[in-house]
Amino acid sequence: MTRVAVTTTADAAPRLAGALVGHELVPIMLPCIAISPAPPAELAELRRQASKADLIVVTSARAVRITWPKRDMPAVPVAAVGPSSAAAVEEAGGIVKTIGEGGSSDLVAGLDVEGRFVVFPHARGSDPSTTSGLEGRGARVYAAAAYDTIPIAPNDDKVDAAVFGSPSAIEGWLMRRPLDGMVIGAIGATTASALRVRGVEHPVVPVRPRFEELAEALAERINA
């Protein structure tokens, strides 16, 4: 059976691994990133700004869990990029107003934020298009990093394919291993672009950035 490297962190890996198993693929845990929360003072300021916001935009379940570990998210409407982010908001005590069906750009395109104060917690170094998209639609945006993703080298377990959820995970992989000779999957457009820059011409990318859809698309490519 095809062995697939799961390069995300331990907190996110089980969902992707389960999706891969559902398509008769064998997940091999090879984490390529570690998570470092922002300093406490920065997280406190992020929470303070969020409590005054008209809208909170969430594109990362991890950002929610790190920012509101006590599950005391303020009673401010939240636009979440997908079901997993929405679930994290609800677990944190937040109020989900909108759940996107595509990526972050599609979510932003559907929001009425003219003149509104929007708070956007994110990973440091993430794609700036969400912030610029909100500003382009007339929002006043407070965008702050809730955490850093730190590339780490994986071990050398044999695999036939690999899936990546961020450009940082790609950097970690390349610390020790090449990208050639395998089927490569990316959770979304930003990660796919990072793979193409590094020579992967045709990464597998699902229509929507969902682990389940990534596993399905990867299985289709492998079995083609």
> Model confidence over 194-208: pLDDT tens digits?
999 999 999 999 988
Residue that finishes a domain, picked among 147, 163, 183: 147
> How many independent structural domains does the chain possess?
2
Q: Are 140 and 83 within one domain?
A: yes
Q: Are 49 and 124 within one domain?
A: yes
Q: Are 71 and 97 within one domain?
A: yes
> Model confidence over 48-57: pLDDT tens digits?
999 999 999 9
Residue 188: pLDDT band with limits 50, 70, 90? confident
Strand order across the beta sheet in which 55-58 lies: 33-37, 140-151, 117-123, 55-58, 77-80, 95-99
Alpha carbon distance 217, 106 (integer Å): 21
Assessment of whether the complete model's pTM goes beyond 0.75: yes
Q: Which residues contact 220 (CB under 8 A, 6 or more apart)?
A: none
> Model confidence over 58-113: pLDDT tens digits?
998 999 999 999 999 999 999 999 888 999 999 999 999 999 887 888 899 999 99
| b/e burial code for range 56-68 (CB count within 10 A of at least 16 → b) | bbbbbbbbbbbbb
Q: Which residues contact 109 (CB under 8 A, 6 or more apart)?
A: 133
Q: Are 124 and 143 within one domain?
A: yes
Structure tokens at 24: 């008769």
Q: What is the CATH number of the domain that holds 69?
A: 3.40.50.10090
- Domain that includes residue 109, residue range: 37-147
Q: Which residues contact 11 (CB under 8 A, 6 or more apart)?
A: 35, 62
Q: Which residues contact 108 (CB under 8 A, 6 or more apart)?
A: 57, 130, 133, 134, 137
